[in-house]
Amino acid sequence: MEVSDVFRIFAGVFSVVGLGLCLWLARVDFSKIPAERKVHLGVATLTGLAFFKLLALAALFAVPVVALGAANYHTIEGVHGVESCNRCHVMTPMVTDMRDPGSETLAARHFKNGWIPKDQCFQCHSDYGLAGDLRAKMEGYRHLARYTTGTYEEPIKFRGVFHNDNCLKCHAGTPKFVAVPSHATVQGRLAENSLSCLNCHGRAHPTREQRTPGHPDYTRLIGGDE
Partner 1 sequence: MTEPTPETTPPAAPESLYRREFLWAMGGLGAATAAAFAGWGGLELMVPPGTADEWHKSTCRFCGTGCTIRVGMRDGEVVDIRGHEDGHNKGVICVKGTMLRSLPKIEGRLTTPMIRKNGELVPASWDEALDLIAGKFKEVRDAHGPDALAFYGSGQLFTEESYTANKLFKAGLRTNNVDGNPRLCMASAAAGYVTVFGKDEPPGSYEDIDHADFFFIFGANPYDCHPPLWERVQRRRALRREAFVVCVDPRRSETAKRSDLHLPVIAGTDLLLLNAMAQVIIADGLTDKAFIDRNVRFSHDGNTIDLAAFGALLAEYTPEKVESRLGIGADLIRHVAHRFAKSKASMSLWTMGVNQRTQGTRLNIMLNALHLLTGHICRPGATPFSVTGQPNACGGVRDTGSLSHALPAGRVVANPEHRAEVEKLWGVESGTISPNPGHHAVSLFRAMESGQVKAALIMCTNPGQSMPDSDRYAAAMEKCFTVVSEIVADSETAKAASVLLPAALWVEKQGVLGQGERRYQLVDKLLEPPGECRSDLWMLVELAKRLGLDRLIKAHTPQAVWDEWRQFSAGSAYDFSGMSYDRLRALPGLQWPCPTEQHPGTARRFVEGSDPLVKPGMGVQFYGHKDNRAHIPFCPYVPSPEQPSPEFPLYLTTGRVLEQWHTGTMTGRITELRDAAGPARFTVSAVDASRRGVESGDMIVVTSRFGDVQGRAVIDADMRPGLMFAAFYDARLLVNKVVADHVDPVSREPEYKLTAVQFRKAGA
The footprint of partner 1 (CB under 8 A) covers 102, 104, 109, 138-139, 141-142, 145, 159-161, 181-182, 184-186, 189, 193-196, 198-203, 207-209
CB of 20 to partner 1, least distance (A): 23
Give the C-alpha separation, 224 to 226, whole Å.
6
Give the residue with the Cβ less far from partner 1, 8 or 99.
Answer: 99
CB of 170 to partner 1, least distance (A): 18
**Nearest Cα residue to 121 out of 150, 92, 146:** 92
CB of 134 to partner 1, least distance (A): 12
Give the residue with the Cβ less far from partner 1, 17 or 195.
Answer: 195
CB of 81 to partner 1, least distance (A): 22
CB of 13 to partner 1, least distance (A): 27
**Nearest Cα residue to 167 out of 217, 107, 108:** 107
Q: Cβ(207)–Cβ(213) under 8 Å?
A: no
- The full DSSP string for 95-106 is HHHHT-TT--SH
Give the residue with the Cβ less far from partner 1, 74 or 112.
Answer: 112
Give the residue with the Cβ less far from partner 1, 38 or 201.
Answer: 201
CB of 2 to partner 1, least distance (A): 30
Give the angle 64-65-67 at the CA atoms, nearest 5°: 60
Give the residue with the Cβ less far from partner 1, 6 or 161.
Answer: 161
Give the residue with the Cβ less far from partner 1, 172 or 195.
Answer: 195
